[in-house]
Structure 1
Amino acid sequence: MTSTVPVSLTRMAAGSALQAVLLDMDGTLVDTEGFWWDAEVEVFADLGHQLDESWRDVVVGGPMTRSAGYLIEATGADITLAEVTGLLNDRFEKRIGQGVPMMPGAARLLAELARHDVPTALVSASHRRIIDRILDSLGHRHFALSVAGDEVERTKPHPDPYLLAAKGLGASPGRCAVIEDTATGVAAAEAAGCPVVVVPSVAPIAPAAGRVIVRSLEQVDLAFLRSLITSTN
């Protein structure tokens, strides 16, 4: 479940142009999108099926039910959605148990946001069991709350996870800067009314109004995020 937000953070959010920063996890803060694909390849290989590399762009960034459902349909594997979801989570969890590499600039950005008491939420389509394991590496202290894909009725690309995170931080969606890496996540953030910083990971993201595309989190700092809110509100 989402965590309780300290009153001090909610008060700070109410008094600033930039009220909160909402961050995706896989491919944005941690270099794990490849881990998910490797897990999918291995699980379906065990089932006797080879995945086409072109499917990678289709399944990246989405809720597990969508990705797993697509791969079941594409391969014709004789397995239920619940069964393959469990296998994928097990295989991924085993991989991250060996360490989680952070994306360039992620640790520095999280430290800066914490230093300036900026309310921050982790918003992911991954399940709670996975988020909690990765938070052990990222540091739970960096996030006032987190939202998992299996805790909302509709996860990305629907706006619900970002709306829930903004509400939990006492912030207006329009004053929450979102950092995302996939088209699915960007669609969710934009549907919620949040300005978006896009750091593409696996697949390119097309430019559009209301979004800023950067090569790396090394280009993103607090001043950058504050200017984004100022320029869009």
Structure 2
Amino acid sequence: MTQSRPGPAAVLFDMDGTLVDSERLWDVALRELAVEYGGLLSDAARVAMVGSDAATSMRILHADLGQQWRPLEPSQTWIARRMTALFRTGLVWRPGALALLRAVRTAGLPTALVTSTARPLVEVALETLGRHNFDVVVAGDEVHTPKPHPEPYRLAAHLLGVPIERCVAIEDSRAGVTSALAAGAAVLGVPSEVPLDPADGLHLLETLAGVDLTLLGTLLAPAQATH
């Protein structure tokens, strides 16, 4: 006999571009830094940064400008300072994100925020997102190997005490989708800045508007079926 569990054990949310429309703010800061260094950031390099941690993004920026000799730390410090100001004044929820987060919390499901952004900037974002909305936060500077490696999502499930195979991860970037799929989660992809290619285990939607717990439960149905 085949039975299915009623829904996910936990919902794991990416932050930038998934819950909040912050990629446009990153775009502002990164392009400003390129100008500060006497160059212009190419669109290809900007796309390659989406979903990456700060160190990776700075390596891409330096290479794009032909300035690989630059140390990473001053660039990361500059970006962190600029993004802190932008986060405090410009964070806007993505369509449907707040309603879904509230529905998940009202249902009593555990939640995690799993982001490539470093903890100090995440703390600023949580002023908008609400610290009470997340049982666990995994920031980009709190893992050995950030997205697209599976470690961030595996760690989130471990900290929540739930099997990753019974989690739904919600992502907007290629790096994030790769991370969550490799970890073993069911993945709902809602692209923002960069299109997402179809993949096994990835369920694509244009927006989170209208997404509810019933829909999230259907994403796990194949994995949860048992004999």
User: What range is the shorter-chain TM-score in?
Assistant: over 0.9
Q: Which residue matches 2:180? A: 189
Give the unaligned 5+ runs of structure 1.
Answer: 1-14
Report if the CA contact (8 A) 2:7-2:214 is conserved. Answer: no
Q: Tell me the distance in 1 between the aligned counterparts of 2:31 and 2:90.
A: 20
Letter matched to residue 61 of structure 1 = G
Report if the CA contact (8 A) 1:177-1:225 is conserved. Answer: yes
Q: Any residues of structure 2 matched to 1:162-173 within 5 Å, and which?
A: 162-173=153-164
Q: Which residue matches 1:91? A: 82
Alignment partner of 1:153: what SS? Answer: coil
Q: Which residue matches 1:30? A: 20
> How many aligned positions are there?
219
Letter matched to residue 101 of structure 2 = L
Q: Tell me the distance in 2 between the aligned counterparts of 1:166 and 1:200.
A: 23
Q: Any residues of structure 2 matched to 1:1-233 within 5 Å, and which?
A: 17-77=7-67, 79-233=70-224
Alignment partner of 2:89: what SS? Answer: coil
Q: Tell me the distance in 2 between the aligned counterparts of 1:17 and 1:215.
A: 22
Report if the CA contact (8 A) 1:195-1:228 is conserved. Answer: yes
Q: Tell me the distance in 2 between the aligned counterparts of 1:65 and 1:16.
A: 40
Q: Tell me the distance in 1 between the aligned counterparts of 2:146 and 2:210.
A: 28
Give the unaligned 5+ runs of structure 2.
Answer: none
Q: Tell me the distance in 1 between the aligned counterparts of 2:91 and 2:222.
A: 35
Report if the CA contact (8 A) 2:10-2:166 is conserved. Answer: yes
Q: Tell me the distance in 2 between the aligned counterparts of 1:130 and 1:40.
A: 15
Moved more, 47-56 or 161-170: 47-56
1:16, distance to aligned residue in structure 2 (A): 6.2
Report if the CA contact (8 A) 1:210-1:232 is conserved. Answer: no
Q: Tell me the distance in 2 between the aligned counterparts of 1:33 and 1:193.
A: 26
Q: Tell me the distance in 2 between the aligned counterparts of 1:143 and 1:104.
A: 19
Q: Which residue matches 1:7? A: none
Root-mean-square deviation over aligned CA pairs: 1.3
Provide runs of 4+ in structure 1 moved above 3 Å: none
Per-residue CA deviation, residues 187-218 of structure 1 (Å, 9 max, x unaligned), is 00011011100000111111121110000011
Q: Tell me the distance in 2 between the aligned counterparts of 1:206 and 1:76.
A: 30
